[in-house]
Amino acid sequence: MTRMPALSLAAVPGRRKATIELAQEIEKRGFSGIYGPSMGDSMALCQALALATNEITFGTSIMPIYFRQVVDFAQTASFIHEVSGGRFRFGIGVSHAPALKSRGISGGKPLTDMRNFVEELRAVPRAGELPPLVLATLRKKMIALSEEIGQGMVFANGARSHMAESLSVVSDAARASDDFFIGDMIPTCISDDIEAAKAVNRKTLTSYAMLPNYRNYWKEAGYVEEMEAIEKVIAEGQPERVPEFLTDKWLADTTLFGTPTMVRDGVEAWFDAGIKTPILVPSSAKGGQMVAFEELLAIF
């Protein structure tokens, strides 16, 4: 029996009703979950999913903790948790400098801020029962914190070859528990033209390669040479050269691309690497987001 991944879904202006209908189709097809990235309003999407779906688990794959007041987060998260019958996972993270800067916000110390946020969230009076909290993670300290104060973790663009090492700080009990979430958002492009699919994923990940926290993680995962080369061209004022150093080996370790069989086999490999919920983030070599979802639904 095929182990079904979850899918990443964002509600884009002008397509929000179509997105809800797509979510209903994703549920009907038996995918294991729907998770909203930080683009758009994933909390609003989750409120809609609580009422538009019946059985599927869903959540925010990352909601930056600085974007709203803690009291507001607690009320909304509890509302979604209650009306969905406990199907909601509240994925929270510290985001990254460009996203915060665009809103005139500055982050603090990630571990301290996350610990304080969770403490304050749980202390909000008369909010109601809170959903399971899933921490956005990359490196071991945040991974360990996700077990200490949360009910799971979600990576974005994790390296599959490094996952066993990353998860070595998680207890056997948590790894074995159905109630402890371990997910990873994986850029995915299905195409028989493998080079075209690679090019799509390279473009998707170029902006992440510009971020120091991601480069540090990928160095830890063994891609020191690639990341140092990227840092060199950025320092020399040639950011357009970054994709040159996103090697095929690195791309195959962090994304899924190629024929339907290659992608399905890749999903299985992610499960085997310890990711309980692979979250596919679809792009298409032939069209926009809706085309990408059609391609993805067709292969499972």
Q: What is the pTM of this model?
A: 0.96
If residue 16 lies in a helix (H) or strand (E), which one and from where to where? helix 16-28
Token code pair at residue 279 = 């979250």
User: In this predicted model, what pLDDT tens digit does every residue of 146-202 receive, in sequence order?
Assistant: 999 999 999 999 999 999 999 999 999 999 999 999 999 999 999 999 999 999 999
Question: What's the pLDDT at 1?
Answer: 65
40 — alpha (psi -120 to 50), left (phi > 0) or beta? left
Question: What's the pLDDT at 74?
Answer: 98
The b-or-e profile of 13-30 (16+ CB within 10 A means b, else e) is eeebeebbebbeebbeee
Domains for the chain: give ranges and CATH numbers. Answer: 6-190+256-299 (3.20.20.30)
User: In this predicted model, what pLDDT tens digit does every residue of 221-250 receive, in sequence order?
Assistant: 999 999 999 999 999 999 999 999 999 999
Q: What is the DSSP letter of 30?
A: T
Question: What's the pLDDT at 133?
Answer: 98
Ranges under pLDDT 70 in the chain: 1, 97, 100
Question: What's the pLDDT at 106?
Answer: 75
Q: Which of 175, 181, 119, 114 is nearest to 152 (CA)?
A: 181
